[in-house]
């Protein structure tokens, strides 16, 4: 479960990824990074809550996502749409898979970059 450590103004929440699915963990992290877990939530405040995720290697994927999920990016040149499968990206950098999932669940605004910097994956 989550452990909350209060050091003056900085709040640190540690999450264990053991046995959790990717989407459910990412949505929980996104809520915490936005500050919606706090009773004094105000949207304009970015917050000082850091999220530390442990045991990312024990994350589970539901259904056939391991074989069928594809990430796309475009290089900017005509016809250069690149695709990377989840399995390949996980072998290269597992933390990037979680970071992409959390980024997709955060609102697309100026605070997004500040919020994702407060995600620490160990």
CATH number of 3-63+94-121: 3.90.1180.10
Per-residue pLDDT reduced to its tens digit, 9-24: 788 999 999 999 999 9
Q: Is 24 helix (H, G, I), strand (E, B) or coil?
A: helix
What per-residue confidence (pLDDT) applies to 46? 64
- Quickly count: other Cβ atoms within 10 Å of residue 18's Cβ: 12
Per-residue pLDDT reduced to its tens digit, 55-97: 999 999 989 999 999 999 999 999 999 999 999 999 999 999 9
Q: Report pTM.
A: 0.88
Q: What residues contact 40, with CB distance under 8 A and at least 6 apart?
A: none
Instruction: Give CB contacts under 8 A, 24+ apart, made by 96-100.
Output: 97/22, 98/17, 98/22, 98/25, 98/26, 98/29, 98/53, 98/56, 98/59, 100/71
Query: H or E stretch including 120?
Result: strand 119-121
Q: Sketch the domain layout of the chain as residue ranges.
A: 3-63+94-121
What per-residue confidence (pLDDT) applies to 7? 47
């Amino acid at each position: 479960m989550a452990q909350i450590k209060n050091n003056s103004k900085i709040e640190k929440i540690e999450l264990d990824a053991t046995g959790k699915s990717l989407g459910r963990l990412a949505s929980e992290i996104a809520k915490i990074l936005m500050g919606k877990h706090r009773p004094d939530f105000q949207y304009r405040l970015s917050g000082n809550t850091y999220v530390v995720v442990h045991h990312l290697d024990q994350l589970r994927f539901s259904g056939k996502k391991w074989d069928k999920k594809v990430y796309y990016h475009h290089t900017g040149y005509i016809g250069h749409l690149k695709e990377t499968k989840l399995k390949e990206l996980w072998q290269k950098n597992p933390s990037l898979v979680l970071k992409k999932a959390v980024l997709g669940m955060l609102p697309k605004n100026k605070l997004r970059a500040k919020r994702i910097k407060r995600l620490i994956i160990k």
